[in-house]
Amino acid sequence: MSGIVGILLAAGSAQRFGAHKLLQPMADDIPVGVAAARTLCAALPDSIAVVRPDDHACIEALRGVGLQIVENPDADQGMGNSLAAGVSAAGEADGWLIALADMPWIDVDTVRMLAQALQQGAPMVAPVHRGRRGHPVGFSSRWGARLRALCGDEGARSLVTAHPGQLVLHETADEGVLMDVDHPQDLPR
């Protein structure tokens, strides 16, 4: 793949939710994970979803949106492992925009803005809403080797923390960059 590739992390266990939250319908009857996938694909058609290999319903739902599916047999090792699997599957891209499948309220224009910042040379990008950093977070190709080496549950946070001067923040009115689904009561918004 070339250009900026979207990576949707959809291999979590959803233990706090108590059920498969990515398949839970939102107010418009669209499942949480499908809504997040549609946004990512609308902005970045070359997108990948990293899923658990036994999660057949989620695999079919995300494949139906148009994502390339990467099954991560080591998903229990944490988000870092899934992120590494997605970046590895994308091959030599110009960069990667990492989105979370439990964040269905992000605007397509926000994803496009962040991808454009990467295309214009930003080393790392993230949105900020009212002073709070949100998701998705993007990385230029210079971080490829480090992203492919990630493991554990921290994801890429250690990379951002170790190189704060490389992170370009983009202010947005999009409150969806801060809103995720952790509990059933998060859905009726």
| 8 Å CB contact between 106 and 99 | yes
| CA-angle at 87, arms to 68 and 98, nearest 5° | 80
pLDDT of residue 189: 52
Tens-binned pLDDT, residue by residue, of the chain (189 aa)? 569 999 999 997 655 666 678 999 988 899 999 999 999 999 999 999 999 998 999 999 999 999 999 999 988 888 899 999 999 999 889 999 999 999 999 999 999 999 999 999 999 999 999 999 999 999 999 999 999 998 887 778 889 999 999 999 999 999 999 999 887 777 765
CB 93 within 8 A of CB 80: no
pLDDT at 108: 98
Dihedral sign of CA atoms 44, 98, 143, 125 in order = positive
Q: What is the pLDDT of residue 187?
A: 79
Cis peptide before 136 (omega within 30 of 0): yes
pLDDT in tens, 58-70: 999 999 999 999 9
Q: What angle do CA 161, 47, 181 make, to 5 degrees?
A: 60
- Which pLDDT belongs to residue 18? 60
Looking up tokens 């992203």, which residue turns up? Answer: 147
- Nearest CA to 4 among 161, 127, 107, 137? 137
* Architecture field, domain 4-182: Alpha-Beta Complex (3.90)
